[in-house]
Amino acid sequence: MVDRTVISVRAEIDRFFADASAATSDQPEFVLLMGGVCAGKTSLRRQRFDRGYVLVDAAEIFLNLCGGRNYDFPSMFAEAMDVIGGEVARRAVRENRPIVAEIIGADLEPTQQLIDAMLEAGYRVRPTFVQADPEKSWTRNLNRAADNISAHFTERYHLQWLLNAAAGKNVI
């Protein structure tokens, strides 16, 4: 008998590879969207990087796992998010897929570590800073829907998953 949990985890991982994010023998691109809370990172990602990139995003995983029910992030889904997000990042790096991720990027050291690790893993890194008027960002944040989870909460997951994936590629 096949374990249904394994099937659903595999399906969730595969979901991030369903679009045109084809593996490349050339140097793949890593787009790192950075900026303050509600600066427009997700809007930019959806406009310019929705196709052709593997999305590494704890919020997307969380929202799919909770099935539209209202839970605090990460709630009881933290372990499943780690399994799925870690494997999405590892598979994307292993297969030389273009990747897009969002972070705040306010702390220089972990941001630089991520950029260096992705360069070492053979990626062309495109750091992109997204800026918005502070008052507009504040208003957007106040009006944020429950299904719009801030990079403030997801950043640590993205950094961990991508750093581990890049380090795994460099192991001989």
Q: CATH no. for residue 51?
A: 3.40.50.300
* Alpha-carbon span 5 to 2, nearest angstrom: 9
Q: How many separate domains does the chain show?
A: 1
> Could you tell me which residues are beta bridge partners of residue 34?
103, 129
Q: Name, in order, each residue with C-beta under 8 angstroms of 19's C-beta and a sequence gap of 6 or more.
A: 50, 51, 52, 53
CA dihedral (92, 122, 117, 50) in degrees, to 10, reads -40
Q: How confident is the model at residue 127 (pLDDT cuts 50, 70, 90)?
A: very high
Exposed/middle/buried for residue 28 (C-beta within 10 Å: 0-12, 13-18, 19+) = buried
Q: Which segment of 38-52, 104-118, 141-155, 157-171 scores lowest on mean pLDDT?
A: 141-155
Distance of CA 39 to the CA centre of its chain: 17
Average pLDDT over residues 59-83: 84
Range of the domain at 157: 4-169
